[in-house]
Structure 1
Amino acid sequence: MKNFAASSLAELFVAPYVIWGTGRVAQAFYRKYCKTESEKPIFWVDSNATKHGSCIDGIEIFAPEAFYRRSEAAYVKGERLSVVIGATGVFLLEILSLMERKMVKAAVYSAVQLDAACYFSEERARVEKIARRFADEKSRYIYESIIRNMKGGRLVDFSLYEPNQYFGNDVIGELARGEVFVDAGVCHGEEIDRAIHGGNIFVHGFEPDAENYAYLLKKYEGRDDVRIHPCALWDKDERLVFQSNAATPSASRLAGADAHEEAAGIAARPLDDVLQGAACTLLKMDIEGAEYNALLGAAKTIEQHRPKLAVCVYHSLEDYVRIPELLMERYPFYRFFLRQHSATSGETVLYAL
């Protein structure tokens, strides 16, 4: 994929283009950058046959074969068609692999890559200031490399990978006896299992998904050292909509319920209200884009108990900047570190000690 630094779509495309994908990431890109007729794609591409022939904003959706034919015809004429892939993670890799097998002659971009190039170019001063605040050179290198990879469309970088996410790593070691671990975003309890394996660790787990919550209640039934709370963490009492996607950096999120009225809401509460002054020694957050607001709702807990923090920052481009800024400005008593726990753009964790 192309390597570039630009601040507007007009600087990126000199050829007609299509958008491959019709999901949230693709449509978010379209709404953000395709504002005028001259900036709009000539058509959408989607492999889902049920969508073929329908339209988004008056622009028709075609099968991949239509894109293959159009790009080949342009190439024969000495022209070139561009494609913006509105998918992320493994889905992006699958599309790239498919186009390579078809020997597609087109300029290929990722919607996330374009967005990252624009966003991080605009926020360069903030990024540089954050990098200077990290406590070690390793964190600075990882932070700058992740951003450079996103801007340049580098999808995989094994050199940044670190094992043992959240604790048991070179930043936060194994948990000590008597610690209180707040696990926000429990899922199936993998991190709880790691934490309680050594014994004498108390866990507050937060899991708003009803199915997962029921599973966890049964899993930890009879245990006095694990308490599961059926809510998400936020900065106020509210009902939120959870939009799930396995890909990164910006495909999953927790949004206000008014954004999708047809979706069922989940309960969300501030951590300060739940704990009511009770101790916390490690606060881990992997809550699909709700981390920033959840940190606002944990301000008293952080000020009073100064727990170790392990906060995911990969759910949106903005989180790579606004979450470090928030913590660095409000809590200068911490030392800050960054580690990457995936070979792709996901699982980036900001640590504070």
Structure 2
Amino acid sequence: MENATEKSLETLLSGLEATALAQPFLFDRICGQAPVILYGAGHTGQELALRMRADYGDRLFFTDRRRDLWGGQVRGIPVLSPAEAARRHGGDGIFVITVFNREADCAYAAIAGELRGLGAARCVPWALPAWKYADALLPRYFMGNAKDLLPFREEIRRVFAALAEERSRAIFLELLEASLTAPFDTLSAWETGPQYFIPEVLQRLPERVCMADCGAYDGDTLRAALACLGAERIEAYHAFEPDRENFARLQAFVAGLPVDVRARVTCYQAAVGEKEGFVAMTAEGTEASFVAAGVAGDIPCMTLDSVLAGRHCDFLKMDVEGYEKEALRGAKRILAERERERERERERERETILAISAYHRPDDFFAIPLCIENLRNGYGFFRKHYANLFDTVYYHFQAGI
């Protein structure tokens, strides 16, 4: 007998063709000739406004929390305060919430509730008009569109069926729905606490832990490891960070650690990928810096197979801004060897735990599990951390869930 999540999956997949055909026209069907108010005059809102301006003309407005913008213009479009926008257009306008980030006070449901409280009757996420301009605006993080998922229905079913935990299935559905229905007002509860050192990880880690941190940023995961495990439990820590500014901050943090701890941390100013060589970075000095796939550059790219050859890794974390699948394929030999090593060392059950970010690309929710399944013959589960669907992590344990 199908449960609710199984039924939801089949409903979404059976209607995939119809959804793909409808998405480019959905916003205009809802909007008609109504005023359009873009909530949020930041980067996402301005990107959308540039495409919408020619089509919506003088019925296009911005609204924003920033008082300094009220009464002025952004990209030639008038900016109203939220209260004024609701007073003028709350009854007949459509409010497009263009805020799209992981900050706790920027969740769609919270903003929509705030606007409705002011009198805005109709609120929609930015995805609806973005589907109209998909060639220019999508994909973006976990947001894509239905037509790109059409060839992968069986793969999506296969991964879903392999997820034994019901919460994992619910989050899997939310990631699928993001590209189909943008269900930002009905997302499941956020999870707080450490992002990577969740209870299921902590209870499996050995007394002395060897870790690889791909996308080490400024040392945030290392700080969490020190807080959650204690410095004495960290046997070796390999930190990879390609962005120059981030790497400098990482080095500065490591330099301030006690000498005995510092000696166990190795920092690499490098990306991790499928092949050794050099890559280009879109380097912003922030956690959003990413490798420009397929573009030559001057940033070293290493494979985990080469760096960690002959060494055990108890915990492999990846948050590499959409380069996770390439990085995993560069760990093919290590992951296969760990599988064989586990057979040889079954009595002590020393495993390699994977924690892989799964929200940077619209296909990550099924493509990353398939990549891992191909490398080590297993699936795992998802956990959502903090805001919206940002910071969703896919975990895999060799010893099972």
What range describes the TM-score normalised by the shorter chain of this pair?
Answer: 0.7 to 0.9
Q: Which residue of 1 aligns with 2:60?
A: 43
Secondary structure at the residue paired with 2:383?
strand
Deviations 1:144-185 (A, max 9, x none): 255458732236532x63755434523662411344211223
- The answer as to whether partners of 2:270 and 2:299 remain within 8 angstroms in 1 is yes
Q: Which residue of 2 aligns with 1:102?
A: 118
Q: Which residue of 1 aligns with 2:126?
A: 111
CA separation of 1:303 and 1:64: change in aligned 2, threshold 3 A? farther
2:282 counterpart letter in structure 1: V
Inter-partner Cα distance in structure 2 for 1:91 and 1:151: 16
Q: How many residues align?
A: 329
CA separation of 1:268 and 1:68: change in aligned 2, threshold 3 A? farther
Q: Which residue of 1 aligns with 2:346?
A: none
Inter-partner Cα distance in structure 1 for 2:380 and 2:40: 37
Inter-partner Cα distance in structure 2 for 1:269 and 1:41: 52
Inter-partner Cα distance in structure 1 for 2:234 and 2:253: 23
Inter-partner Cα distance in structure 2 for 1:315 and 1:324: 14
Verify: 1:322 aligned to 2:367, yes or no: yes
Verify: 1:184 aligned to 2:181, yes or no: no
Q: Percent identity?
A: 18
- The answer as to whether partners of 2:197 and 2:225 remain within 8 angstroms in 1 is no
CA separation of 1:169 and 1:112: change in aligned 2, threshold 3 A? farther
1:260-275 equivalences under 5 Å are 268-275=301-308
Q: Which residue of 2 aligns with 1:241?
A: 282
1:49-64 equivalences under 5 Å are 49=68, 52-55=72-75, 60-64=76-80
CA separation of 1:46 and 1:35: change in aligned 2, threshold 3 A? closer
Inter-partner Cα distance in structure 2 for 1:140 and 1:239: 36
Deviates more, 1:266-275 or 1:308-317: 266-275
TM-score by length of 1: 0.73
Deviation at 1:258, TM superposition (A): 10
- The answer as to whether partners of 1:202 and 1:225 remain within 8 angstroms in 2 is yes
Secondary structure at the residue paired with 2:73?
coil
- The answer as to whether partners of 1:130 and 1:321 remain within 8 angstroms in 2 is yes
1:205 to 234, 239, 245: 239
1:183 counterpart letter in structure 2: D
Q: Note the residue ranges of structure 1 that are not aligned, 5 or more in a row.
A: 247-251
CA separation of 1:334 and 1:130: change in aligned 2, threshold 3 A? closer
Deviations 1:26-82 (A, max 9, x none): 456568xx5895478953526464794352xxxx232133x7656654566xx4334
Secondary structure at the residue paired with 1:219?
coil
1:327 counterpart letter in structure 2: I
Deviations 1:220-256 (A, max 9, x none): 544332223233433443231245778xxxxx45142
Verify: 1:342 aligned to 2:395, yes or no: no
CA separation of 1:305 and 1:30: change in aligned 2, threshold 3 A? farther
Inter-partner Cα distance in structure 2 for 1:196 and 1:351: 22
CA separation of 1:271 and 1:62: change in aligned 2, threshold 3 A? farther
- The answer as to whether partners of 2:96 and 2:123 remain within 8 angstroms in 1 is yes
Deviates more, 1:206-215 or 1:43-52: 43-52
Inter-partner Cα distance in structure 1 for 2:290 and 2:214: 13
Inter-partner Cα distance in structure 2 for 1:270 and 1:349: 21
2:330 counterpart letter in structure 1: G
2:358 to 313, 318, 326: 313
2:281 counterpart letter in structure 1: L
Verify: 1:152 aligned to 2:193, yes or no: no
Verify: 1:218 aligned to 2:229, yes or no: no
Deviation at 1:351, TM superposition (A): 1.4
Inter-partner Cα distance in structure 1 for 2:294 and 2:158: 35
Inter-partner Cα distance in structure 2 for 1:35 and 1:315: 25
Higher normalized helix content (fraction of residues): 2
CA separation of 1:120 and 1:350: change in aligned 2, threshold 3 A? farther
Q: Which residue of 2 aligns with 1:129?
A: 158
Inter-partner Cα distance in structure 2 for 1:28 and 1:265: 29
